Structure formats: C-alpha cells, structure tokens
C-alpha cells in the first residue's frame, strides 16, 4: 500500500508537459542525446563568447545547465512570491533571465537571483550526469570512507562535475572585474556551495521480505526546495559590502563593520528600490494587481505589498484538479473542480 501511495503521489506531481521537458529550449533531453549545437546555442540568446564556445563543445551539458537556470528562476518565484519583487519578470520564453536590467544592478534581489540560478545549474547538471543523459560525465563512483553498517554503491550524483561546469558556464559572463562582477562571482559561488555543502546520503535495503541485511548507499544532491530555503535565509541576512583599498580588481570586499564576508554569504552593494511602481529600466512590474493578504503580519500584507495604495476585494473563479483516482497500472484520472472565492488585490 505504501508503494502505491508513493506512485500515486509521483504521478500527480508530474507536470502536464513531462518532467524532463526544458521549457526554454523546448527539448526533452533524455530523448535527444545527440543534440545539435545550433538547436541549443542559437535558441538561448545573449550567451557570452565563452558560454557559446562551451555550448558548441558540450551542447547536452549546456542544455541541462539552461534547464538548471530555469529551475532556479522557478524556485526564485516560489521563495519571493510574497515580496514586492517576486522574480516574475525573469521568466521569459526563449529569453535569458540574466539579460534583465535588474541583474545588472547591485541589489539584494540581484544577489538572490544569481545565487539561485548558479545553484540550479549545479543541481541539474549533477543529476543529469547520474541519469546517464550526458556524454561528458557519469555517476560519481567515489567511495566516501569505510562503514560497517552499509556499502557505498548505486549511482551518486556527480556534484563535482556539476559544480565545475556551473562555475565555467555562469562565471564566464563576469569578465569586467569591477565591484559588480566580483560580487556576482561571489554570489554564484554561494549558490554552488548551497548545493555541494548539503549533499545527502541516500540508502536502499536489500534482503528477503524487505529486511535490511545489506544496505547500499550513495550521495545525492539535496532536494532543490531545501536549497531554495537555505538561500532565502541567506537573502534575508544579505550583507552590504564595499571595496577596501586598491581598485575594484585588487581590493578586498569588506562588510560595513570592516570584516570580510563568508563564502556562503549573499552580497550586495546598492540599496534596493521600493519596487512599488512599474519601472522599465529595472524590468520591475510594480505591485498593482498582485494578490495580498489583509490579515497577514508578513511582507504579503496588503498595507506593505500595495505600498499604501489600498486594495480591491474581488470575486474570482478558480479551477483545480480534484477527486483523483489511480488506475493500475499506471495513470491517474481527475475531475476538475471549480470554486468561487473572494480575494484582495492591490490597486
């Protein structure tokens, strides 16, 4: 029964277009191992020359990296969903989110977007290696010490390769060596560290009737929601820095108290705007039309999110899947239920 419940949950969790679909490139990487470099490299715009060269040489790895950026932006939207700037402007079909004007500034929000994107690339490439989807890498076959309780085996996620490719692919855009580039490089590294420092051990039992006479374990990248939660905490505690002594290329990044930041800190150097009104120069849509919570004490309360403009109460119709039934084997049929509800929307 437990296995059946897990299978039903898995099937319900699959997106309608397939869980391996790359929404930006419109590729199913698992079914297209021999990718045409032009399909990948010319579909995803505004790559730097180094990124384009990497893409031409490793189109399958780059396709997974681009999918990782997409996963990172989706997680950014989830983590900042109650904030005035909620990452929505970064998700554009067939467009590179790093081309957004906001990511050319030094805000806390910029730091989070860079870190979560770098984490997404590290995570996705690491998993793709272990799934046998990429020609350039496979499982991490390292043995992490001897343990009497279990044996190392299975197919560990190749986080070393994922981290290295994320560094090459993401950092290559930061060639200026000014304070903006240096901070972007730092935040990219913080994103990668959020994955590689939280690799987890997963195990499977072997034996008669489900006994655990022998246990095989492997290393796996953390669930990406856990990575997002970690980086959200880093976002809340982000550190404002400046260059100390020398020029931007040689000086040290220091906090306002004179101390050097940690590698895992998120850094910024510009105060964020209010994000209340639309601002095309920052690619910020403002908060008009956003749902707010009039009874909340958090940043999504109507007073804060609506920036004092007030809100409207509207009746809306919402549809969702319901009364789902699992049929052996292996599909799920659901009805569509429609609800009428009242919502509060910023003026």
Token pair 């950014």 is found at 76
Q: What is the pLDDT of residue 3?
A: 40
CA 207 → CA 3, 146, 152, 162, distances in Å? 17, 21, 16, 33
Provide CB contacts within 8 A for 259, sequence distance 6+: none
Predicted confidence band of residue 179 (pLDDT cuts 50, 70, 90): confident
pLDDT in tens, 29-74: 444 456 777 778 888 888 889 999 999 999 999 999 999 999 999 9
Tokens representing 207?
A: 């034996």
Q: How far apart are CA 261 and CA 183, in angstroms?
A: 11
What H or E segment, with its residue span, contains residue 272? none
Using the predicted structure, report yes or no on whether residue 77 has a pLDDT greater than 80.
yes
Q: How far apart are CA 84 and CA 307, in angstroms?
A: 9
Whether residue 61 contacts residue 166, with contact meaning beta carbons closer than 8 Å, is answered with no
Helices (H) and strands (E) in the chain, counts: 9, 11
| Overall pTM > 0.75 | yes
Q: Can you give the length of the chain in residues?
A: 347
pLDDT in tens, 277-304: 999 899 899 999 999 998 888 899 999 9
The helix/strand/coil state of 139 is coil
Select from 55, 80, 333, 69 the least CA-distant residue to 191: 69
Tokens representing 175?
A: 């060639």
- Spell out the domains of the chain, with CATH numbers in brackets: 16-138+156-198+221-286 (no CATH), 289-347 (3.30.2460.20)
* Beta-sheet strand order (sheet of 200-206): 151-152, 214-220, 200-206
Asked which of 145-154, 181-190, 255-264 is least confident by mean pLDDT, the reply is 145-154
CA 2 → CA 5, 16, 120, 205, distances in Å? 5, 24, 31, 16
């Amino acid at each position: 029964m437990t296995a059946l419940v897990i299978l039903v949950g898995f099937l319900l969790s699959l997106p309608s277009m397939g869980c391996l679909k790359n929404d930006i490139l419109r590729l199913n990487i698992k079914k297209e191992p021999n990718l045409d470099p032009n399909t990948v490299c010319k579909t995803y715009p505004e790559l730097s020359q180094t990124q384009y060269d990497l893409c031409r040489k490793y189109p399958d790895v780059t396709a997974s990296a681009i999918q990782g950026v997409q996963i990172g932006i989706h997680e950014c939207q989830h983590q900042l969903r109650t904030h005035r700037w909620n990452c929505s402007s970064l998700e554009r079909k067939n467009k590179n989110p790093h081309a957004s004007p906001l990511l050319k500034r030094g805000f806390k929000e910029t730091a989070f977007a860079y870190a979560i994107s770098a984490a997404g690339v590290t995570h996705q490439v690491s998993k793709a290696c272990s799934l046998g989807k990429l020609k350039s890498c496979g499982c991490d076959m390292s043995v992490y010490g001897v343990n009497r309780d279990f044996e190392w085996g299975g197919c560990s996620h190749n986080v070393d390769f994922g981290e290295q490719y994320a560094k090459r692919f993401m950092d290559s855009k930061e060639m200026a060596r000014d304070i903006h580039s240096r901070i972007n490089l730092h935040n990219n590294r913080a994103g990668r560290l959020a994955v590689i420092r939280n690799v987890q051990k997963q195990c499977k039992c072997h034996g008669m009737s489900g006994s655990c006479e022998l246990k095989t374990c492997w290393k796996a990248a953390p669930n990406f929601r856990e990575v997002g939660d970690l980086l959200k905490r880093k976002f809340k505690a982000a550190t404002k820095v400046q260059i100390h002594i020398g020029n931007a290329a040689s000086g040290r990044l220091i906090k306002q108290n004179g101390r050097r930041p940690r590698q895992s800190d998120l850094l910024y150097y510009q105060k964020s705007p209010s994000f209340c009104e639309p601002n095309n120069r920052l690619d910020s849509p403002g908060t008009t039309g956003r749902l707010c919570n009039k009874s909340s004490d958090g940043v999504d309360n109507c007073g804060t999110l609506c920036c004092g403009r007030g809100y409207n109460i509207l009746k809306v119709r919402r549809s969702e899947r319901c009364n789902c039934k699992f049929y052996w084997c292996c599909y799920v049929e659901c009805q569509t239920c429609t609800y009428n509800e009242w919502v509060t929307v910023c003026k």
